[in-house]
Amino acid sequence: MQQVNLGLVGGGTVGGGVVNALQRNGALMASRLGVELRVVKVAVRDLKKARLATLSSRLLTTDWRQVVNDPAVQVVVELMGGTTIAKEVVLAALRLGKSVVTANKALLSAHGEELFAEAARSGANLYYEASVAGGIPIIKVLRESLVGNRVLHLAGIVNGTCNYILTRMKLEGADFADVLAEAQRLGYAEAEPSLDIDGHDAAHKVGILASLAHGFWVKPEQIHTEGIRHLSKLDLQFAAQLGYTIKLLGIVKSLPEPLPAKTKSPVTAGRRKSARVQVSVYPALVPNGHVLASVNYAFNAISVRGDVVGDTLFYGRGAGSEATASSVLSDLADAALDLKHGSIRRVPDFVAHDGQGQVCPLAEVVSRYYVRLMVLDQPGVFARIATLLARAKIGISSIIQPEGHAGETVPVILMIHDAPNLAMQRVLAQIAKLPDVKSKPVMIRVEAFD
C-alpha cells in the first residue's frame, strides 16, 4: 500500500487531537483511501511538556525547519497558530512544492491572498477545512459541493463562546458579565476574551467564507465587526417577546446593484459590473422559526443559500480537538489522494471568478432594526424621538414601552422598518443627545432571511 508521510508543526491541543485520531482510525482511512498516512516528524515548542497524544521522542524536534525541509515529509500540517512563524512555515513548505494542511483562520484571514498565490506558483495545494467551524465541512461544501451555485446568502454562527454566552443569557435571564465569568471558569472563554466576544474570531472565519464564495479576497479591514459586550438580558428578553432570538452572525450577502446613472462614461460603458457583497459580523435578531435560532450553547451552524440548490444548513461542533481533527483528517485524505493520483490541481484551493467583486460598506446596507432606549418616563419623550425618526424618513413598525412611574428611567423598544445603516447611525446619534435619553441607544439588526 502506498504511504504518504506527514510532518506536523504544532503538537498542542489540535495537533494532539490529529495524532490521536490517526492512531484511532488510521487503518480505516487506509482501507478507504488505499493510502497509509504516517506521521514521521513533529515540531513542538517544549520537548518536556505533557501532551494530549503519545508521541515517540525520536519524532520530536523544536525546529520547524527540520520538519519542512525533511525530504521524507510529503505533506506539512501547520497547527501552531499565530500569523508570524506560521506564515514562514506555510510559505517555506509551499516553495518546496509540498502541500500544506492548516487550521489557522487568523493566518488565512491576514495573508490568504499571498499564500494561495504561492500555492498556485509552486503547484502545491493549501488545504484549510479546519480553519472555519471546527468539524463542519463548510469549506469543501463551498468549493466542491456547491461549485455549480452562486452563493446568494450565507449566515453563520461561527463562534461557540459567543453562542454559549447568548444561549445562557436567553434561557436563564442572566447578565452578560456573570455568564462570561462562568464561561471563563469552565474553559469556554479565554481569560482575555476580546478575540471572541468582540467578534474578531468570527470575522476571520467569515472573511475566508466570503472570499471562497465570491472569488475575490476579502481583507479583514473590509469586514464590519461588532461583538456582544453591549447586549443586556433585557435585549434577550424583549427579543423573545417579539418572536426572535439574538445570535452573533457572520453575514455574507449578495446585494442588488445600485440604480444605474442616466448617462454612462465611455470609459466604463460595456464593462462587466462588479459584484457587491455585504461581509459583516454583528449580533442579529433571528426569527424563532428559522433553524439558526435553535442552535444553542457552543455549537456552530451555517446557513447557505445557492441560486440553484436553495437553502441548506450545516451544523456541528465548531471547536475542540476532536472536531477540528476530523476536518484536518478530511484534508489529509484529499492531499493523500492528490499525491496518489497526481491530481494536485484537481480542485483549486482558491480561485478568482466572476470578475473583481467588492465589499459594500455597511453604511449602504439596508436592514430592519431593534432599538432599545432608556428614557425618563414622562410626557413628550416619545414624541421627540418620533419626530427625529420622521425627519430622517425612518418608519417605526412597533413599540414596546413597559409601565413605569413618572420620572423613572424605563426601557422603550422600537422595531424599525427598512433603512440604510448610515441613516440609522445618524438619527441614533441625535436621539442620544436628547435630555430624556439616559444611556447610549442599543441597536441590533434584524436578519429576515427573505
For residue 56, the model assigns a pLDDT of 82
Catalytic residue (choose from 170, 205, 247, 253):
205
Cα–Cα distance measured from residue 200 to residue 300, given in angstroms and rounded to the nearest whole number: 16
For residue 350, the model assigns a pLDDT of 80
Supply 213's cell numbers. 464564495
CA separation (Å) from 346 to 75, 349, 350, 353?
Answer: 17, 9, 12, 17
pLDDT tens, position by position, 40-57: 999 999 887 777 677 788
* Confidence label for 344 from pLDDT (cuts 50, 70 and 90): low
Burial of 142 (0-12, 13-18, 19+ CB in 10 A): buried
Query: Is 70 exceeded by the pLDDT of residue 405?
Result: no
pLDDT tens, position by position, 345-394: 566 778 777 666 899 999 999 999 999 999 998 889 999 999 999 999 99
Mean pLDDT along residues 433-442: 95
pLDDT tens, position by position, 311-341: 999 999 988 889 999 999 999 999 999 999 8
SS (H, E, C) 7-68: EEECCCHHHHHHHHHHHHHHHHHHHHHCEEEEEEEEECCCCCCCCCCCCCHHHEECCHHHHH
Mean pLDDT along residues 33-39: 96
Q: What is the DSSP letter of 124?
A: -
CB 213 within 8 A of CB 306: no
pLDDT tens, position by position, 171-225: 999 999 999 999 999 888 888 999 999 999 999 999 999 999 999 999 999 999 9
Mean pLDDT along residues 418-431: 97
Mean pLDDT along residues 90-114: 96
Query: Is 60 exceeded by the pLDDT of residue 273?
Result: no
SS3 318: coil
Is 205 among the residues known to form the active site?
yes
Mean pLDDT along residues 413-442: 96
Query: Is 70 exceeded by the pLDDT of residue 261?
Result: no
Which domains does the chain carry? 2-132+321-341 (3.40.50.720), 142-317 (3.30.360.10), 363-446 (3.30.70.260)
Query: Is 80 exceeded by the pLDDT of residue 122?
Result: yes
Bridge partners of 42, per DSSP, are 8, 60
Query: Is 80 exceeded by the pLDDT of residue 267?
Result: no
Query: Is 80 exceeded by the pLDDT of residue 272?
Result: no
For residue 258, the model assigns a pLDDT of 65
Average pLDDT score, the chain: 91
Cα–Cα distance measured from residue 230 to residue 442, given in angstroms and rounded to the nearest whole number: 7
For residue 293, the model assigns a pLDDT of 97
CB 413 within 8 A of CB 400: yes
For residue 403, the model assigns a pLDDT of 76
Query: Is 80 exceeded by the pLDDT of residue 153?
Result: yes
The H or E element containing residue 160 is helix 160-172
* Confidence label for 299 from pLDDT (cuts 50, 70 and 90): very high
For residue 266, the model assigns a pLDDT of 44
Query: Is 50 exceeded by the pLDDT of residue 271?
Result: no
